Amino acid sequence: MSNTTTSRRAHRITDATFDPRLKTYTFWGTTMFLVITIVGIAILPFWLIFGKMYVNRYYDNLFCELTTRALHFKKGIWFQTERTIPLDKIQDLTFKEGPLLRHFGLSYLKIETAGQSVQGMADMTLTGIVNARNFREMVLDQRDLITDQQTTSATAPEPRDGDDELITLLKQIHETLQRIEQKTG
């Protein structure tokens, strides 16, 4: 395996931990939604019986990992969602706490990326991360590190074979332009 391949591989920085209070928030939030909808009232008895089991399994399947190049997220029981967002595509990572979330001691991170289809919509929302502010800062710091490296490598290319001839030619062109400038000035 070449050094280039090894250096491009993403390495795990940290895993996000989800707050157990997220289970209570999810259970009661869904219960309230079912209470205020007509169809939900019919489903409510089943939710009250099986909801805690569902919420526990859902919580156990939550996964979020920050690597050197991307943010990986997985959730779901019956319908699983896996997302990988390259860090250099993240434009904004918003930390939010609403009154209900604050009551449960939770917050969420709204991740917006370059080129998202609907303006103002989040590409991904992570609810209930322990120390969400610190996790947000880690993601933004790693994103800045990646984008700074890309900018540096794009502005300062490595010298290649044959560059000496090109540099000599550019120096000759520069000297010629200076002579022309002296004659016309």
The reported pLDDT for the residue numbered 7 is 45
pLDDT tens, the chain, 185 aa long? 444 444 456 788 899 999 999 999 999 999 999 999 988 999 999 999 999 999 999 999 999 999 999 999 999 999 999 999 999 899 888 989 889 899 999 999 999 887 655 555 557 889 999 999 999 999 999 999 888 877 666 655 565 666 778 888 888 888 888 888 888 76
- For the stretch 104-117, pLDDT in tens is 999 999 998 876 55
Within its chain, how far is the Cα of 112 from the centroid? 8
What pTM did the predictor assign?
0.70
Measure the CA–CA gap between 33 and 26, rounded to whole angstroms.
11
Give me the phi and psi of 59, to 5 degrees please: -60, -40
- For the stretch 28-68, pLDDT in tens is 999 999 999 988 999 999 999 999 999 999 999 999 999 99
Ramachandran quadrant class, 12 (left: phi over 0; alpha: psi -120 to 50; beta: rest): beta
Closest CA to 129 of 7, 5, 21, 9: 21
Second CATH level (architecture) for the domain 10-152: Roll (2.30)
Domain residue ranges in the chain: 10-152
* DSSP label at residue 117: S
